[in-house]
Amino acid sequence: MELHVFLDKYEQRTGTGEVAPTTRKSKRSRHPKDSDEDDEDEPVMKKRSTSGSGPLVSKFVREGGVSGRGVTKAADATRAIQFRRVMARIEDAETGEVSIIKSYRNEEGAISASPIKLPKGDKGRSKELYESATYVAKKLVCRAPGVPVPDIDEQYNLLLSDLVRLCKGQMFVKRFEVAAEEYAVEPSAFRFTEGFLITVFSAERSTAEAPAESALVPHGSSDGEETEELEEVYLVEPRRSTTRVEKYTGTMDNQQWLNLKSATINAFAHFVVADSACEYLLADLQALQDIREGTVLIDPMSHTPLGNSGLGDHGLTGIRSFIRTHSCSPICKDLQLASSSDLRRALDRIVNELDQEEDQSFE
């Protein structure tokens, strides 16, 4: 399956949710874990202070960037491909550091040769969907006259950034759930989609003997020169039971909450920027309502102080815009999330740090 993203339309879009949430009257009793219970996957949570009691502090590592559905009619023709997987995983749940896992094992599959036909109301302006039995995939393309398609290395870096966003989104959902448990809040359930990249290399220039083991590389570092010619790269996600997207937050604003579900996503966006002390903000939060898995968030954007976490990252401007436009839902208040003044102070601290680093670079 294949989902094409047209950069010109994408960039135009980026600019380069009545049900009250419920809370329990008292906190749930917190029983100690049994001694044989595995807590390895528990996200690390620092003790958060209530609004106004002190500055926001986080060990979240500043993003450094990358260096290196139900359908109406399916396409009839498919083509066979050989590909390798690239996956991302959180190495440190406190700092948010990510590692990239590159597999050197060739796999075989089929991808549709033409897009599926969607109802007009479900068809996006910047994407085309290509399908297989269980997956959809997206590939960066451009149809506007005079606008070049990014070279294959840039396509890889941009899609890898999108994969890292999904990975970090999954991490923050776990942390959000822990906070909801701590404050006895019952938000609407949601999750981020899983995903991985597939890379297709030129048959003529494929290395005769590829390494048997996968390579583990910290996100943002270079893992050496590739010995093969990359021809195609796709971001692959599980196929969902619908293609109809529900939008909860915008790229540069935080839309109003209307029900428990949208109030939850509204609070989640607030939680992320507060939990990371303004080092990371997930924006443009939108979801598919899957029959099996419920609310599944897809295609998020992010804003970071350095502005290099991927397409649509507006840096400090994006974070400031969220702080200015965000209207807290009852879930924000039940979770005692940081106030707008706390967020502004945290962002001012980051700006001062960046200014000092810039001054030192000229000394």
pLDDT tens string 192-216 = 999 999 999 987 555 444 555 666 6
Total domain count, the chain: 1
What is the structure's pLDDT at 266? 96
| Within-domain flag for 29 | no
Whether residue 232 lies inside any domain: the answer is yes
* pLDDT given at position 204: 55
Mean pLDDT of the chain, nearest integer: 80
Q: In whole angstroms, give the CA distance from residue 120 to residue 328.
A: 34
On whether residue 244 sits in a domain, the answer given is: yes
The list of the chain residues with pLDDT below 50 reads: 1-2, 17-38, 40, 69-75, 121, 123-127, 207-209, 224-225
For residue 35, being part of any structural domain is answered with no
Domain assignment of residue 272, given as a range: 3-16+60-361
Question: Which residue type, as a one-letter code, is found at position 219?
Answer: H
Position 45 in a domain: no
* Residue 304 falls inside a structural domain: yes
pTM, to two decimals: 0.78
Q: In the prediction, which pLDDT does 35 show?
A: 44
Residue 29, C-beta contacts closer than 8 angstroms, at least 6 positions apart:
none
Identify the pLDDT of residue 42: 55
**Residue 97 resides in a domain:** yes
44 belongs to a structural domain: no
> Which CATH number is 76's domain given?
3.30.200.20
> For position 125, what pLDDT does the model report?
42
Token pair of 113, please? 């040769």
Q: Report the pLDDT value the prediction gives residue 219, as an integer from 0 to 100.
A: 67
